[in-house]
Every structure is written in structure tokens, then in C-alpha cells.
Chain A
Amino acid sequence: MIEYNNLTGDDFLAEDIGKTLDFMVDTAAALMRTGSPTTRTETWISKIGNKLGFEVDIAIIYTVIYITIRDSNGNAMTMTKRTGNLSSDFDKFIKIDALVKKFVDGKVNLSDAHSQLKFILSADFSYPIFIRLIAAALACGGFEYILVGGLMSALASMVLGAMVYAATNYIRLLDNRFFQQFSSGVIIAIGSWILMPIFKGSALNGIISGSIMLFVPGLLITNGFSEISQGSVISGTIKESEALALLVALVFGISAGSVFVGGLKF
């Protein structure tokens, strides 16, 4: 029997079906957690299985992954995994994608690929907080300027957007996205009421429109539609539903926040 550590696609033995499935499930979960589209993940995971001589059936329904592999003798194994919250980390996504490509091209064996995957997932490649805050400020200010207009409103949005981003990303009171959206809405409503007189000439409509841009699920709505049109109907529909829930939470948060400051008219 060939040792697991020396396995490549050409000399695979059926005994390692479990280890293969482990790698496939972990890779699928990693890709989904770092922002890979559903269809791309399904394609890559099928290629991994095919490379090792398996027939693969994979279904990714939003946060749940189902994979069944079958060898040439008809032995089959199925594994299910829940991925938890989906987010985007493009750096990790690109690295995992490159690793899968290397594996499919036969440049790395199964064992090494699996340990490299674990290394990529455990490493922290995120930017320092001040760079993230500057990026959040530039994004909010820029969106305000092009969508609504007004220099002072854009400046106020930059300040408020960075503050809310810091509050929701670095002070994690609850790991609950709905609550995060709601509390962001409350902070935005109160913050815009405080900042409007400080930034003379700014408009409430402008400040709020800029600062909410990091929290409105516009990307989720668009990705949901893309997935529906590419055949992942259930996954896409669930994304649309989640986007609606997040949007409701944000708007309710702003409404609740405006009550504290005696009502906002925008």
C-alpha cells in the first residue's frame, strides 16, 4: 500500500477515501467562508475528486455542504458540513484557490495540500486597524459624494463611517449579524444627528447615505441574483432572504436611533 503522505492523483488507493473526503469538505468550507461563489466552489471540489479518480456529487446550499464520492468499485461515502457565517477574505480566498489549482495540476500531494490549507486558514493576514479605518472612511465618503453629493456631508460620512466600522468590527458584543446591523443603524442615526451641526453645510440625508454603505447588503442582493441565474437557485434565494433581513435590521436600527434624538427627517 502506498503511504498517505505520498499520494498524488496517479497512485491513489481506495483505502484513503475518508481522508480525501475530509480534504474536500475542508476545502469547500474554507472556500465558502472566504467569499468564493457557490458555483466555483462546486467546480473545484469536483475537480479534486475527479483528479483522484472518484465520481463526485456535491451540493452547497448556502452554509451547508454535502459531498458524496464514489470509487471505481462502487464504494461510496458522504459527508455533510455546516460552514457557519459566510464572509469575505480575498487574500485567503486567492491563496486557497491557488492551492487547489496546484493540487489539481498534480504539483502537491493530498497530505501536503491539507496541511497547507490548515496553515492558510490559521494565519492572520488582515491589515492593521488604522489602515482599515482609513479604508472605511474613504469608502463611506466616496460613496456619499457620488451617490448624493456635498463635500461637508462626505467628510461627516467619513468620520461616522469609520466610527461605526470600528464599533461593529472591533467591539464584538454579540456574534449576531442581525444585532450588528441593528446597532450600526442606531449608532448611525445618533452619530449623524451629532455630526450635522459640527460639519456646517452637511445634510442628514447625505451623512446617513454615506455611512450606511458598508452595511447595506447590496453585494449580497447582487450575488444572490447571480447565483440564481447560474443555476444555484436555492443558495441564491437564501442570500436574497438574508439580504432582506439585514436590510430590515439596519433600517429598524436607524428608526430606533432616531427616536433617541427626537426624530430624524431625511
Chain B
Amino acid sequence: MNLIVQSLIAGLASGSFTLLYNARPLDAVLGGSIGFIGWLIYSLTLGYGMVASTLLAALAVGLIGRILSRLRHIPSQPLIVGGIVVLVPGFMAFKAMNAFVIGNSTEGTTMMLNAFLVAASIGTGLVVAVAITAIIFRKK
């Protein structure tokens, strides 16, 4: 139950975030829904490690975003941004930089490396999703 509530809040936050970038209401709702699914998958697979769970969530977000954008005849970027904004390691990168500023370089290095790995896993998930959807739609 808590997981569903958290995912709903994640969806609300990501939908609101896309509104700030001037997404139309329907795109914001779709972006929020993809954010909901992304956070749900991330939370359910967190046991496999943060990088693996982010990769799976980003892959799902990329696939759903690309398929929906294809159906709506719009670019996938506005929908995918809504989905990945809850996964991006912004807060982690902030904490890493803050650790450097207060003189805790060891903690900062570890956190920055983690943030980079999470960003890389999101990028990889999205690129794999692009490749998969390109193959699917080429066959049709």
C-alpha cells in the first residue's frame, strides 16, 4: 500500500515537473503515469541494487514512452522526461558535491561515482529502449 502511495506521489511530482516545461495537460498526465510506473518498477526491484533497478525502470520508461509517442505522433522526449525525472540522481549528485564542499572527499567521491553509475544506467536503459522500439516498428 505504501509503495502504491509513494508511486502515486512520484507520478504526481513527475507530471507537475513536465508542466513546468510547458507540456500540454495530456502529455503531463501521460508523463506522470510513466513516472508512476518507473518509480513502481524501481522500488520493486531495488533489492537487486540501485544501478540494476534504475536500469530496469529506465528501460520500462523508455519503452512505454516511445510506444505512446508513436501512438500520439509526437516526439518521445516530453513523455520520457516525465518518467525519468524521478530516477535521475540529482539529489545524490548534490549530496556528493556538498560532501566535497564540507571537506569529506571520500564520501563525496563514493557518492559522485554512484550518481554517475545511476545516470549511466538511465542512459543505457533509454538507448536500449530506442533500439528495441526501432526494431519493433521497422518490422511493422
Contact residues of A with B, CB < 8 Å?
35-37, 40, 88-94, 97-98, 101, 125-127, 131-132, 134-139, 141-143, 145-147, 165, 209, 212-214, 216-219, 221-222, 224-226, 228-230, 243, 247-248, 250-252, 254-255
Q: Which residues of A contact B88 (CB under 8 A)?
A: 218-219, 221-222
Q: Which residues of A contact B91 (CB under 8 A)?
A: 143, 147, 209, 212-213, 216, 218
Q: Is residue B115 contacting chain A, with contact meaning CB distance below 8 A?
A: yes
Q: Which residues of A contact B90 (CB under 8 A)?
A: 212-213, 216-219, 221
New contact pairs (4) apart from A125-B22, A221-B116, CB-CB < 8 Å: A127-B19, A146-B10, A226-B126, A251-B94
Chain B's interface size range is: 35 or more
Question: Would you call B20 and A214 a contact (CB within 8 A)?
Answer: yes
- Identify 6 residue pairs between A and B in the complex whose beta-carbon atoms are under 8 Å apart, listed by A's number: A135-B16, A135-B19, A142-B16, A212-B90, A219-B81, A250-B94
Question: Would you call B16 and A139 a contact (CB within 8 A)?
Answer: yes
Dominant SS among interface residues on chain A: helix
Distance in angstroms from B36 CB to nearest chain A CB is 11
In the complex, per-residue mask of B10-52: 1 if CB is within 8 Å of any chain A CB, else 0: 1011101111111110010000000000010000000000000
Question: Would you call B85 and A226 a contact (CB within 8 A)?
Answer: no
Question: Would you call A252 and B94 a contact (CB within 8 A)?
Answer: no
Q: A138-B12, A138-B13, A216-B91 are in contact. Are A222 and B77 (CB under 8 A)?
A: no
Question: Would you call A132 and B13 a contact (CB within 8 A)?
Answer: no
Question: Would you call A94 and B123 a contact (CB within 8 A)?
Answer: no
Q: Which residues of A contact B21 (CB under 8 A)?
A: 35, 88-90
Q: Which residues of A contact B4 (CB under 8 A)?
A: none
Q: Which residues of B contact A125 (CB under 8 A)?
A: 22
Q: A145-B9, A146-B10, A209-B91 are in contact. Are A226 and B127 (CB under 8 A)?
A: yes
Q: A126-B22, A135-B20, A147-B91 are in contact. Are A90 and B123 (CB under 8 A)?
A: no
Question: Would you call A142 and B10 a contact (CB within 8 A)?
Answer: yes
Q: Is residue B65 contacting chain A, with contact meaning CB distance below 8 A?
A: no
Distance in angstroms from B50 CB to nearest chain A CB is 13
Question: Would you call A216 and B13 a contact (CB within 8 A)?
Answer: no
Question: Would you call A36 and B19 a contact (CB within 8 A)?
Answer: no
